[in-house]
A and B are shown apart, each in its own frame.
Chain A
Amino acid sequence: MVVFGNVQFCGGYTRVDSSHPYLPHPHAQLVAQSSIDKTHTMAAGPVDNIILLADCYKSSHYKVYPPGTTKLYAYFESRGGKFPYTVFFGLQYILKQWLCGPVVTRAMVDEAKQIINTVFKRNDVFNEEGWNYLLEHHGGRLPLRVKAVPEGSVVPTRNVLFTVENTDPALPWTLLVQTWYPMTVATNSRVYKQIIHHYMNLTHDNTHTVEYSLHDAGYRGVSSVESAALGGAAHMINFKSSDTVAGTSLLRKYYHLETVAGFSSPSSEHSTVTTWGKTRELEAHRHMLSTYSEGDVGCVCDSYNIWQCLEEHWCEDLRDLVLERGRKGGCIYLRPDSGDPKEVVLKSLEILGKAYGTETNSKGYKLLPPYLRVIHADGINHKALWSILEHLKNHGWSTASAYFGAGAALLQRLDRDTQRCAYKVSFAEVEGEGVEVYKEPVTDSGKTSKRGRLTLQCEDGVYTTVQSGKGDPAKDQLVTVFENGELLRDYTFREVQDRADITFDDFDIIKFLKEDTD
């Protein structure tokens, strides 16, 4: 934590008093830098210097813009990609975490200078003058304006999502591009939701369980705790079921979440079954049921032989306990965890249906008794999910019989190219004159960038990006969220969720899946 005058700078944004959490101090003055915490504590991540949040080569850029450049204007878009739209999310985290308040200090400049000079093995790269200017004239706040579409908005690809303008080119842009990640996870997860929603509509009386139908099991499969938090939070825009606790922590800290956004129930894992020994698998499950004697529990059943486990243990030996739990209003989620997902889920349902009976809902589809469900969390991506649900439907099973979990496919198997996210300069002011800036590589026309100042307009539910400053500012959907170190919009998670909700005239996801040939 660093102290600036009477402003405590903590957690990425200034707090002057609790009623105006983001009100900047009018004359923040730098105090001697004695308190930068350099210890290896959990509280500080690997990087705590904003100047180090950019690619190295960015350090050299201040020298190579045209002389007289006073303004640069850049925008972020998805240039098309896997999914036809994007759910915009996560910028607020980056702004609060890294950019709000006085974020540049003398000590950081000194540290960065030393690092950059060593990295480049030369001392004419680091823009010490520029950073000092920032310290002296802006109190260490970033002279930057960010306009963005409200978080949670569902915007078709190839539209501008946020713009950034600044007067100092050496600012950490790399960081803002990392918005691709939460955004892509939110989009990916919403596609899952649409698929489940579609099948639920077809095969079940209501869609109440949709938001619990896809459980986030991706914590371990993500590349870092910070990423897990971002991805986990993004998933919870669409679903209320998650094991990635880090996501909830992030939402509490950066999105005004008060309680929790996702829920979970006690569940076994292989180790808690296999420690009982192969001959005592039944005991393990029995113990699980008696330990958590009420409410929902999840049991993993494929430690040795999934079919034997279901047929003998769950359908015979444990039958009474299952029924008793049902009488108390609890539900057991049985988890096959390997094999071909679509066959495994169907076969599990068939076995359980035979033993426990099924009910038929108003749409004519079979459903297990309310105290028994199957949850599958192995190999679930949106294609697999689609094929499982289609398969169940073809065999007369309602979508409400099965729940799903996803890990890597939900939080990790995504990259900046999934939605082809790019951040490009489209406008500059050189010697007081506005210049449109674009690239148009002859070797890849897909990389051509937009030109001039941009507005994102929405008419009759259709978004269009208007280029070259020709748009109508009054209709612009981009809202100024950040200016000169100050956060101007502070969305709550509830707002984000509402905006991202599924609508009647949503994209036809099944059509998209059928056309998607990858």
Chain B
Amino acid sequence: MGESVIDNVILLADSYKISHHRQYPPGTSSVYSYFESRGGRFPYTVLFGLQYILKRWLQGSVVTKEKIQEAKELFTAHFKGNGVFNEEGWNYIVERHGGRLPLRVCAVPEGTVVPTKNVLFTVESTDPMVPWVTNYFETIFVQVWYPMTVATNSRIQKQIIHQYLKDTHDNLESLPFLLHDFGYRGASSVESAAIGGASHLVNFKGTDTIAALAFLRKYYHSPMAGFSIPASEHSTVTTWGRSGESSAFRNMMEAFPDGAVACVSDSYDIWKCCEKIWGEELRDAVIKRGKNGGTLLIRPDSGDPPSVVLKCLEILGKAYGTTVNSKGYKLLPPYLRVIQGDGISYRTIGVILENLKVHGWCAANVVFGSGGSLLQKVDRDTQKCAYKCSYAVINGEGVDVYKQPISDPSKTSKKGRLALHHVNGTYVTLEGGRSDPKLASCVCEVIQEFFTKEPHYCPYLIQRRPHCVPPLKLTSRSSSCEIQTQRKTLIYNTAFSNFKSSSTLCKHNPKENKKPLQGSKKRLQKAPYATSSFNQPCSGLLHNKNMLNSQNLAYKINQCWDAQTPQPPVDSCSTALCASPPFFHYSPSEPFTSSPFVIDAVISQLNGKDVLVPVFENGELLKDYTLEEIREKADLSPEDIDVFKFLAEEKT
């Protein structure tokens, strides 16, 4: 039971992906793609759910010979047998990498609230032999749109409720329980329910979608992420017969004599039910239960939500009395609330609460439940999610890649390697080659790679040197441990030799002006290398010896900086691409390290400005977030957007 429909990583892609490996330009050794929300309904997105995809599908040794054979058989039939399937490429991944995917994923930490139109994560291939893996997994990576969109949608609703609670109530204690997830049955599958339910729990703690709890235990280290209360449904009321409605309620209260219970009350006539049954017949029982610490939630489940909720409150208020809180709003007795679970979306919650406010009712009187709108009525276009290639290494040269359809300019994609910076409380995506050189961090990654990877991964260095490093000679019997060891040795060796060659390049720098940039230099000197982000991406792979090297390199770079004048960046994108000038548009006589980009990139990295963090590399998970961390990141903050302004603008 619960066995996955798919247990073959090769089948996680659209079938046209099968044919792509032969379509890239010959000489392509790396493909770099990014994921963004190109605008959409909500002004920001909460990134969530990538960790699930990485852990469930991509982590570890996922490709095997059997899986390759299974996929081959399927695709041969699927393409009517014209040999499209890339058996060789997949076999290479098994033999060379022990079935681990040579991919690197850098992402904003899960839970981060990022305005739309910014990069959220990037994916690149790390083995020049199989550059196509980056986009082979587009399909599965793009599915992040779902948890991300649900988390965003649910957070918007939290903002709305929060605002009304602040305006009309003394405290915010109940906020995490004011939007309950009813969406299990309305989700398109158990897996979707689990993912969507978990995304809601990033913001709230009330859920009926148990699948989400299992999901968060398994993938986000959360022992118990959400809570629920006993509640009736129509069948548990209607089986008592039309005349037995009040017996059904009485039984419900007796079965659960304390704590909160919810009773659906619209089986026949909600008004009569509130007035006669709850307001008269069962009044004493409700009050008695209240004395035992019980709370009763009355659930109308049909009709026009704003007026139904108000009318229920009015009827119940008349029967049970109300208190007025410090903000001057009416509140039912603490043992009585209304829960509205029909027709709730981010659009209606505000209307309902506004209607209550206008009529003098506090927002804490009502709890919401949401099903379809929360977990299902969203799609990839809600936040216009896209995964596009922005950079590639072809014949040893890094080139910007982008699309720019004249028939829809909004689909234009970003160019070059990307960085996401948090500047003055907002996020900015820097595109390689034309971003502000003071902030460009793309080169910084090169420096990291310089120490962690074989040199042919480094697109900048190989502008000078063709990628001639032979693949590691591994027998197919090598265990992953052996592979790691061999790779480490190679990393040490190449890092060292490269370091030498690049420092030689520095000395060749013909520039005259030696005016130092004091600020930058100081920051560099203060930088705590050993604990800085330098060692993050390598996650234990790097040895202290390499740290020394990185200090050395920074020192050398520092010298270079002193030895030159920063030049305005060349906008290479207008003319982009491999046919003509190379990525950074340097004249051939100008060595790589003379770029003003390098230094500032280092600074920006050390300042922690690049928010994209390596989370996955070559089959290994580098970050493992807990739900608690994610909740903290996604929490409401004073910097938040004005949700009412957004709602008002959306209306018009």
Answer whether residue A231 sits at the interface, using C-beta atoms and an 8 A cutoff.
yes
Query: Are A227 and B392 in contact (CB-based, < 8 A)?
Result: no
Answer whether residue B379 sits at the interface, using C-beta atoms and an 8 A cutoff.
yes
Contacts of A48 in B (CB 8 A): 1-2, 214
Q: 14 A-B Cβ contacts within 8 A?
A: A40-B59, A47-B190, A60-B255, A64-B251, A180-B186, A220-B143, A223-B187, A223-B195, A226-B189, A244-B14, A253-B5, A274-B403, A338-B408, A414-B188
Query: Are A243 and B16 in contact (CB-based, < 8 A)?
Result: yes
Answer whether residue A3 sits at the interface, using C-beta atoms and an 8 A cutoff.
no
Assess A339 versus B408: contact at CB under 8 Å? Given A226-B191, A265-B79, A415-B186.
Answer: yes
Query: Are B184 and A50 in contact (CB-based, < 8 A)?
Result: no
- Complex Cα distance, B18 from A265, in Å, reads 9
Q: How many interface residues does A have (CB within 8 Å)? A: 138
Assess A46 versus B211: contact at CB under 8 Å? Given A103-B1, A425-B239.
Answer: yes
Binds B, one of A321-329, A358-366, A439-447, A466-474: A439-447
Answer whether residue A475 sits at the interface, using C-beta atoms and an 8 A cutoff.
no
Assess A443 versus B270: contact at CB under 8 Å? Given A245-B14, A274-B403.
Answer: yes
- Complex Cα distance, B33 from A242, in Å, reads 25
**Chain B: which residue is nearest A229 at the CB level?**
B5
Closest Cβ of chain B to A439, distance in Å, is 5
Greatest chain A CB density within 10 A among B11, B55, B62 is at: B11
Answer whether residue B219 sits at the interface, using C-beta atoms and an 8 A cutoff.
yes
- Complex Cα distance, B12 from A217, in Å, reads 13
Query: Are A178 and B234 in contact (CB-based, < 8 A)?
Result: no
Contacts of B62 in A (CB 8 A): 42
Which of B26, B78, B232, B237 has a CB less than 8 Å from the CB of A262?
Answer: B78
Which of A178, A269, A284 has a CB less than 8 Å from the CB of B187?
Answer: A178
Answer whether residue B534 sits at the interface, using C-beta atoms and an 8 A cutoff.
no
- Complex Cα distance, B267 from A58, in Å, reads 17
B interface with A by C-beta (< 8 Å): 1-9, 11-20, 22-26, 28, 31, 33, 52, 55-57, 59, 62, 74-75, 77-80, 82, 84, 135, 138-140, 142-143, 145-146, 182, 184-196, 207-211, 213-215, 218-219, 223-224, 226-241, 244, 247-248, 251-252, 255-256, 259, 261-262, 266-271, 300-303, 308, 371-372, 376-377, 379-381, 387-389, 392, 394, 399, 401-408, 411, 413, 576-580
- Complex Cα distance, B182 from A214, in Å, reads 34
Closest Cβ of chain A to B46, distance in Å, is 16
Query: Are B1 and A121 in contact (CB-based, < 8 A)?
Result: no
A interface with B by C-beta (< 8 Å): 9-12, 40, 42-50, 52-61, 63-67, 69, 72, 74, 97-98, 103, 115-116, 118-122, 124-125, 174-175, 177-178, 180-181, 217, 219-231, 242-246, 248-250, 253, 259-260, 262-280, 283-284, 287-288, 291-292, 294-295, 298, 302-307, 336-339, 344, 407-408, 412-417, 423-425, 428, 430, 435, 437-444, 447, 449
Query: Are B210 and A115 in contact (CB-based, < 8 A)?
Result: yes
**Chain A: which residue is nearest B392 at the CB level?**
A275
**Chain A: which residue is nearest B138 at the CB level?**
A220
Query: Are A42 and B5 in contact (CB-based, < 8 A)?
Result: no
Query: Are A270 and B403 in contact (CB-based, < 8 A)?
Result: yes
Closest Cβ of chain A to B170, distance in Å, is 24
Contacts of A302 in B (CB 8 A): 403, 405-408
Which of A66, A262, A269, A276 has a CB less than 8 Å from the CB of B239?
Answer: A66
Query: Are A307 and B230 in contact (CB-based, < 8 A)?
Result: no
Query: Are A57 and B19 in contact (CB-based, < 8 A)?
Result: no
Query: Are B210 and A56 in contact (CB-based, < 8 A)?
Result: yes
Contacts of A230 in B (CB 8 A): 5, 188-189
Query: Are A279 and B577 in contact (CB-based, < 8 A)?
Result: yes
Contacts of A292 in B (CB 8 A): 19, 22, 82, 84
Closest Cβ of chain B to A473, distance in Å, is 23
- Complex Cα distance, B300 from A67, in Å, reads 25
Contacts of A58 in B (CB 8 A): 233
Query: Are B4 and A44 in contact (CB-based, < 8 A)?
Result: yes
Which of B22, B184, B190, B218 has a CB less than 8 Å from the CB of A291?
Answer: B22
Contacts of B191 in A (CB 8 A): 45-47, 224-227
Assess A272 versus B411: contact at CB under 8 Å? Given A227-B192, A230-B188.
Answer: no
Assess A44 versus B2: contact at CB under 8 Å? Given A177-B185, A223-B195, A295-B82.
Answer: yes
- Complex Cα distance, B413 from A270, in Å, reads 10
**Chain A: which residue is nearest B19 at the CB level?**
A266
Closest Cβ of chain B to A290, distance in Å, is 10
- Complex Cα distance, B413 from A275, in Å, reads 13
Query: Are A120 and B405 in contact (CB-based, < 8 A)?
Result: no
Contacts of B28 in A (CB 8 A): 275
Contacts of B12 in A (CB 8 A): 225, 246
Assess A223 versus B208: contact at CB under 8 Å? Given A125-B230, A244-B14.
Answer: no
Assess A425 versus B23: contact at CB under 8 Å? Given A245-B14, A269-B16.
Answer: no
- Complex Cα distance, B76 from A248, in Å, reads 13
- Complex Cα distance, B227 from A119, in Å, reads 4
Contacts of A224 in B (CB 8 A): 143, 146, 188-189, 191-192, 194-195
Which of A221, A243, A272 has a CB less than 8 Å from the CB of B20?
Answer: A272
Which of A47, A54, A442 has a CB less than 8 Å from the CB of B214?
Answer: A47
Assess A416 versus B185: contact at CB under 8 Å? Given A219-B14, A272-B23, A287-B23.
Answer: yes
Query: Are A275 and B25 in contact (CB-based, < 8 A)?
Result: yes
Closest Cβ of chain B to A307, distance in Å, is 7
Give 3 nearest A-B pairs by CB, closest first.
A277-B577, A443-B303, A339-B407
Query: Are A280 and B228 in contact (CB-based, < 8 A)?
Result: no
Contacts of B82 in A (CB 8 A): 266, 292, 294-295
- Complex Cα distance, B325 from A513, in Å, reads 54
Query: Are B190 and A226 in contact (CB-based, < 8 A)?
Result: yes
Contacts of B78 in A (CB 8 A): 245, 248, 260, 262-264
- Complex Cα distance, B56 from A264, in Å, reads 27
Contacts of A231 in B (CB 8 A): 188
Assess A275 versus B394: contact at CB under 8 Å? Given A42-B7, A221-B379, A442-B271.
Answer: yes
Which of A103, A119, A267, A423 has a CB less than 8 Å from the CB of B226?
Answer: A119
Contacts of B193 in A (CB 8 A): 178
Query: Are B135 and A271 in contact (CB-based, < 8 A)?
Result: yes
Which of B56, B182, B377, B580 has a CB less than 8 Å from the CB of A415?
Answer: B377
Query: Are B215 and A118 in contact (CB-based, < 8 A)?
Result: no
Query: Are B188 and A223 in contact (CB-based, < 8 A)?
Result: yes
- Complex Cα distance, B123 from A91, in Å, reads 38
Query: Are B11 and A178 in contact (CB-based, < 8 A)?
Result: no
